Structure 1
Amino acid sequence: MSTAPSTAATAHTLAADHDHPAVLALYEELHRHPELSHAEHTTAARVAKELRALGVEVTENVGGTGVVGVLENGPGRTVLARADMDALPVQEATGLAYASRVDGLMHACGHDMHTAMLIGAAQALARGRQHWSGTVLFVFQPAEETGEGALAMRDDGLLKRFPCPDVLLAQHVSAGPAGLVAHVEGPVLAASTSLDVVINGRGGHGSRPDTTIDPIVIGAAVVGRVQSIVAREIAPRQSAVVTVGRFHSGTANNVIPATAELGLSVRSASGELQDQIVTAIRRIVTGECAAAGTLAEPEIRIVKSMPATVNDPRTARRIAQTHREMFGAARIIDPGAAMGSEDFSELAVRPDGTSIPYHYWFLPSTLAPVWDAAPGTSLEEKFAQVPSAHSPHFAPDPAVLGQGVAAMTGAVLTELDQRT
């Protein structure tokens, strides 16, 4: 008596049929030619060309430069698989043969690898239609780094113009020993908020500070005081980070400037905690300005905000189990929630405001020689010593490309197999 192959076995069969040399070449090409958020024109055009060659129905310019591919293959569930496409304003220092040829721009977060992996998964699924039934949406998203791309695609009718998905999937390369797959149930990435603050003082000569209201002194007090929010206003069991990443003021050593500008980043595990921290920042900035006697109110503006990424536990368990069968139980880890942020979850909000389940996992990708040479003995110690995302030295192991193709193929098949 014959039995049907497992989802993991089918995924291995399909993934083995993708054109790995072409996917590798695509990755290297994208890495050489990075494009910033909202400017992913060449990348998007190449993605659309690759999808059309597979017989996938393609729509371009969704939410700006976004690309959506629809692969319908009979009745069943609809699964959305997403990759991000944008690069960062970082000067590459990897020394790779295929390093960025664009001065000051680099794929320092692995989005080029995500894009190539999803093209590889599309190849595997398109060539193996006889093994599955349902609909797959291949979503190539712009502007993840600015936190605007997912919402732009959603506002442009992603969940109205195309088949509404039953589940959403995404993966991201990261620092860590290549070959592992990191799955987390529940909260996996933090909510984040970026704020711009302008302190309005009164400028004057450096020799006469008594005639001024020094915004640098006020700003310095704000920098120190906001660090007390997490230490004294947030419960120890909760995770949060407040960072002042920018402080600009003045143009000359002997001039007290009229204004100071600060840029702050807030990260925590929930929207409620974010609101609490932002409220505290407003209170501190306003209070310090009042204490210094400023003549004008400070300007406090939220410039970017992303919700927390919270994996659906049931979906996470299903996909992690498939990956255990595909890659071996020893390669599946649960690192817990991270304080990085993503806008992927914005794609999961239906027009009526309800949420679609989703799962977002990581593919550690540090080259073995780099990982082995890193100081430390534990995973955590080494992790802190190797280049991570947004570093000019971030260089994922190209061997992870094939693993990513297989991981996404297996995840899509797992979700297509579920009963709705």
Structure 2
Amino acid sequence: MNDTRPAGAVLADLPTVRPWQEDFYRDLHQHPELSHQEHRAAGAVAARLRDSGYEVVEHVGGTGVVATLRNGEGKTVLLRADMDALPVLEATGLPYASTDSATDATGTHVPVMHACGHDVHVTCLLGAATLLALHRDEWAGTLVALFQPAEELGDGARRMVEDSLATKVGDVDVALAQHVLPMPAGTVGTRTGPVLSAADSLRVTVYGRGAHGSMPQASVDPVVLAAMVVVRLQTVVSREVAPTETAVVTVGSIHAGTKSNVIGDSAVLELNVRTYDEQTRTTVLDAIRRIVVAECQASASPREPDFELFDRFPATTNDEDTTARVRDAFSAYFGSRAGTLPLQSASEDFSDIPKALGIPYSYWGIGGSAPDAYRAAEQAGRVAQDIPVNHSAAFAPVMQPTLDTGTAALVVAALAWLGPQEAPATP
């Protein structure tokens, strides 16, 4: 690790924050909260940031927290972390594993787990904000630490924006964020241009005419109709998207009928679409609609299908100049541990914030997998099988060096805009 100033000076105190960070992380992991229910996490974050001298605004967009530290003239950098957990029953076996449960938005009682690593994100940003507050002599400008709710639903960032976020943060020059991923812990990866896909979930209801199973001639069978839709949808990516573009169309759920000898009168399909640019996104969604309508007509469906778009996430596309600045700072500090982040097919809503503020942004990945286990799996060609991924019940980032690396990455990236303080003029 290179001790480049001012990052090296700020991060020299990393060992002093590490003990409370690790305790905070264990507690946060053990007590996860679903989207829009992050009251405990938000309260703990706000209290610690106030103790560090930040101006704190709570309940932004529901449970969001915005903390600002003004430190003289200079750029304003926004660092963001997401706070929510998932309805997953934890199977990590950790001594601080979650046994919590909660009632979700539909009224269903579900287990809750930090299966996506948002507890890492919160802990790292809290540590970075603390270190920068301790070393104000090393940088100048304004730091905004933003803790966002409900990333998993894709509406947390938007709700903060709609709750006058721009007024609360003022003029911001750049927004930065990171995500822990199944890569070797201790590594960081940046990427210019598309990083995360846009995601669109689509609920389609197709209609038939019910009848007895022994008299199919009296029916319009919605199961057969749904099956034809599924088959035809497989041609969207292979025949309507250019080979140089990337897209995914998945039919994840089909529900129809109640009994083996009853032909029902409707079928519901749930689809998920992933794309990296708006033109491809439009092409795919239009093709899905066209195919469904045509198959309904071919089956003599008695009514038009219904379409419902939900859980929509924007694409994350890193600004070239911003990312180059982050990449150079990472290379100088992390050395060989800084690399290129592969294109990710996951999605998230961070970009809604910089888009609303009209500012450039960069989003990078940090590793969370045990390095030795990852290397062994890589050598055996079994990374996909042996390394738990985000949203898995077994996803458990190793605490260190993950927390140290994520904290350092945020500090290093922020100081690419904020530091250093100018020395006073010699009399």
TM over 0.5: yes
Return 341-350 or 75-84, whichever deviates more: 341-350
Q: Find the aligned partners of 1:255 and 1:127 in 2 and give their Cα distance.
A: 70
Q: Find the aligned partners of 1:409 and 1:369 in 2 and give their Cα distance.
A: 27
In the alignment, which residue of structure 1 is the partner of 2:394?
A: 393
* Counterpart among 362, 367, 376 of residue 365 in structure 2: 362
In the alignment, which residue of structure 1 is the partner of 2:343?
A: 337
Cα shift at 1:180 = 1.2
* Counterpart among 267, 274, 286 of residue 260 in structure 1: 267
* Cα deviations by residue, 1:263-294 (Å, 9 ceiling, x for unpaired): 11111111221111000000011111110001
In the alignment, which residue of structure 1 is the partner of 2:183?
A: 176
Q: Find the aligned partners of 1:197 and 1:365 in 2 and give their Cα distance.
A: 37
Work out whether residues 138 and 420 of structure 2, in 8 Å CA contact, stay in contact via their aligned partners in 1. Answer: no
Work out whether residues 191 and 306 of structure 1, in 8 Å CA contact, stay in contact via their aligned partners in 2. Answer: yes
Work out whether residues 176 and 383 of structure 1, in 8 Å CA contact, stay in contact via their aligned partners in 2. Answer: no
SS of 1:28's equivalent in the other structure is helix
Q: Find the aligned partners of 1:153 and 1:18 in 2 and give their Cα distance.
A: 33
Aligned identity (percent) is 45
Q: Find the aligned partners of 2:98 and 2:166 in 1 and give their Cα distance.
A: 34
In the alignment, which residue of structure 2 is the partner of 1:349?
A: 355
TM-score normalised to structure 1 length: 0.93
In the alignment, which residue of structure 2 is the partner of 1:65?
A: 63
* Cα deviations by residue, 1:127-172 (Å, 9 ceiling, x for unpaired): 1111111111110000100100011101111112222210001010
What letter corresponds to residue 94 of structure 2 in structure 1?
L
In the alignment, which residue of structure 1 is the partner of 2:237?
A: 230
Matched, 1:13 2:24: no
Work out whether residues 181 and 390 of structure 2, in 8 Å CA contact, stay in contact via their aligned partners in 1. Answer: yes
Cα shift at 1:7 = 3.9
Q: 5 Å matches for 1:284-295?
A: 284-295=291-302
Distance 1:384 1:158, change over 3 A: farther
Q: Find the aligned partners of 1:242 and 1:164 in 2 and give their Cα distance.
A: 39
* Counterpart among 401, 404, 413 of residue 402 in structure 1: 404
In the alignment, which residue of structure 2 is the partner of 1:89?
A: 87
Cα shift at 1:53 = 1.4
Q: 5 Å matches for 1:89-168?
A: 89-103=87-101, 104-168=111-175
What letter corresponds to residue 257 of structure 2 in structure 1?
G
SS of 1:72's equivalent in the other structure is strand
SS of 1:94's equivalent in the other structure is coil
TM-score normalised to structure 2 length: 0.92
Q: Find the aligned partners of 2:160 and 2:395 in 1 and give their Cα distance.
A: 28
Matched, 1:49 2:47: yes
Runs (5+) with no aligned partner, structure 2 = 102-110, 422-427
Q: Find the aligned partners of 2:200 and 2:33 in 1 and give their Cα distance.
A: 24
Cα shift at 1:204 = 2.0
Q: Find the aligned partners of 1:114 and 1:8 in 2 and give their Cα distance.
A: 19
Runs (5+) with no aligned partner, structure 1 = none
Cα shift at 1:410 = 0.8
What letter corresponds to residue 325 of structure 2 in structure 1?
R
Q: 5 Å matches for 1:376-391?
A: 376-377=379-380, 382-383=383-384, 385-391=386-392
Count of matched residue pairs? 409
SS of 2:351's equivalent in the other structure is helix
In the alignment, which residue of structure 2 is the partner of 1:189?
A: 196
